[in-house]
A and B are shown apart, each in its own frame.
Chain A
Amino acid sequence: MHIPDGFVSAPVAAAGYVVAGIVLAIAVRQANRKFQERLVPLMGVMAAFIFAAQMMNFPVAGGTSGHMLGAALATILVGPWAAIIVMACVVGVQALMFQDGGLAALGTNLVNMAVVGVLVSYAVYRVAGALVGDNRRLKYVAAFCASWLSIEAAALACSFELATSGTSPLHVVLPAMAGVHALIGIGEGLITVAALAFITATRSDLLPTRREAGLETQ
């Protein structure tokens, strides 16, 4: 879903930078305010895993591939603000060093993958997580839903940016993006749940406590 340069117009690219910049500033402030010691090793490892996972394109229907985004996994493990910072590190390095995603389009890519992906994951996982309580299996269902919806939401945001840029009309690009990413989102959900199950089995101490997850205030 990395937008190359040329797909977005200058005003959309500029708006992307402004929105991404504002949200990143808020994320840094919030992460700083509620900083947890466990985040020092976790954020680095999280970024490393997401970078590696994003290289592993898996085939989906019709000669198309998709890869994990990782926004939902990061959100569940380190919380939304640190997750935005982790995703921004990955997307930023991909654009600056690997030419994956354009330079002018970096702002819009940050909005889609770091901001929209994380905030939708957080909203869904928080609501669904509160509904399912401590049931582990249902928590995985909640994580799957958060993952799938995070991909769809990022794809929708991308469609709106392309349509606003005049690259492709919304009624053309939106159904196409939503359709193919509905499949990619299933992969996202499966990998996220597998990663959570692996962490639960090996290092359950890394999972956030209910308080750290923001489900309890005290």
Chain B
Amino acid sequence: MRLNKTHAAILVIGGLAIALFITLFSPFASSSPDGLERVAENKGFIETQKAPPYEIIADYAFPWVGNEKAATVLAGMTGVLLVAAVASGLALGLQRAGKRRPGGANGRQTAADSDT
């Protein structure tokens, strides 16, 4: 299957919009300890945890944003765009690497795709 440019653009814009929309609700996510933290507390090894050597956006909140909810949403949106950029960059790199190889995946892909 191939996506034409319009379909790919709709996918990227629509998909990113959905992911960004989800982050609007992140301030209302449960702040209870997660599964591993719960087990660590109950089984008495939570104390072995070490503080991270540096903090950038620790606890999914920008430290310099006063409003707690806004700090969380902004952190979430930053993360969404960042992982999207990293993953897309890797995908583009893989695509280019495939094209450079003679008889690479993309050549076969195109021929085989005509019947799907």
Closest to A93 in B: B83
Q: Which residues of chain B are near A162, meaning CB under 8 Å?
A: 45
- Number of A residues, CB within 8 Å of B: 78
Contact B82 A43 (CB under 8 A): no
Q: Mark A146-189, 1 if CB is under 8 A from B, else 0.
A: 00000000010010001000011000110011001100100000
For window 4-38 of A, CB contacts with B under 8 Å fall at: 4-7, 28, 31-38
Place the interface of chain B in its size category.
35 or more
C-alpha gap A96/B55 in the complex (Å)? 9
Q: Mark B91-102, 1 if CB is under 8 A from A, else 0.
A: 110110110000
Contact A52 B20 (CB under 8 A): yes
Q: Among B7, B8, B49, which residue has its beta carbon within 8 angstroms of that of A6? A: B49
Given contacts A28-B94, A98-B75, A180-B38, contact A56 B83 (CB under 8 A): no
Contact A49 B19 (CB under 8 A): yes
Closest to A38 in B: B3
C-alpha gap A40/B97 in the complex (Å)? 13
The reply to whether the CB of A209 lies closer than 8 angstroms to some CB of chain B is yes
Contact A55 B91 (CB under 8 A): no
C-alpha gap A39/B93 in the complex (Å)? 11
Contact A48 B39 (CB under 8 A): no
> Could you give 14 example pairs across A and B, Cβ below 8 Å?
A31-B94, A35-B98, A41-B11, A42-B11, A43-B88, A57-B29, A57-B30, A64-B38, A65-B31, A85-B87, A86-B87, A100-B60, A172-B43, A177-B39
Please name 9 further chain A to chain B contacts, defined as beta carbons within 8 Å, in addition to the given A45-B15, A98-B79, A208-B1, sorted by A numbering.
Answer: A1-B35, A7-B48, A32-B94, A32-B97, A44-B85, A55-B76, A98-B57, A99-B55, A167-B45
